[in-house]
Amino acid sequence: MHRPVHIEESSASRLALRFRPRIVQAVVPARAIGAYLLLLGEHPLYIGRSDRCVRTRLCDHPLLWVATHFVWEPCRDAAAAFLLESLWFHRLAGEPGGLNIVHPSTPARSGMSCPFCMKGVVEIDLALMRRASR
């Protein structure tokens, strides 16, 4: 059985909301840039972002009727959304289940690389997470 995920990667407390189009449209502003986490109950299912419009991305998402809840965080630009998505990806990479297999892509023409992919950092972080969960 999966353990529940506690989402506390920034100073803002996040509330997981039911993942339904009318709820997404009610709480996510049009043209908002940001990262999101899809959940199946309390368990992480998918991490993503939109560099143009999180609302549109979520309302058209292939997991719309699979995931039960979503959490999203607005970001000032595509670079910040990529960094947050990458942080969540690396922090939750040790979770069993349906999480992303492919690393988040960088924003178009940004020249960025993932700061969390430094050699050894991921392995150390995952080892600490596994140790803490025992």
Is 12 contained in some domain? no
Is 70 contained in some domain? yes
Is 9 contained in some domain? no
Please give the residue range of the domain that contains residue 81: 17-132
What is the number of domains present in the chain?
Answer: 1
- Token digits for 7? 């989402």
Is 102 contained in some domain? yes
96-107: per-residue pLDDT in tens?
555 788 889 999
Residue 103's CATH number: 3.40.1440.10
pLDDT at 8: 46
> How many residues does this entry show for the chain?
134
How many C-beta atoms lie closer than 10 Å to residue 55's C-beta? 21
- Token digits for 100? 């992303």
Distances (CA, A) of 38 to 7, 24, 110: 12, 12, 26
Residue 7 in 3-state DSSP? coil
Is 40 contained in some domain? yes
28-85: per-residue pLDDT in tens?
999 999 999 999 998 899 999 999 999 999 999 999 999 999 999 999 999 999 999 9
The answer to whether 38 and 50 are in contact (CB under 8 A) is no
Residue 35 in 3-state DSSP? strand
Is 8 contained in some domain? no
* pTM score of the predicted model: 0.77
Is 3 contained in some domain? no
Is 5 contained in some domain? no
The answer to whether 126 and 91 are in contact (CB under 8 A) is no
Whether residue 131 is predicted with pLDDT greater than 80 in this model: the reply is no
- 17 pLDDT tier (thresholds 50, 70, 90): very high
The answer to whether 81 and 52 are in contact (CB under 8 A) is no
Mean pLDDT of 102-123: 80
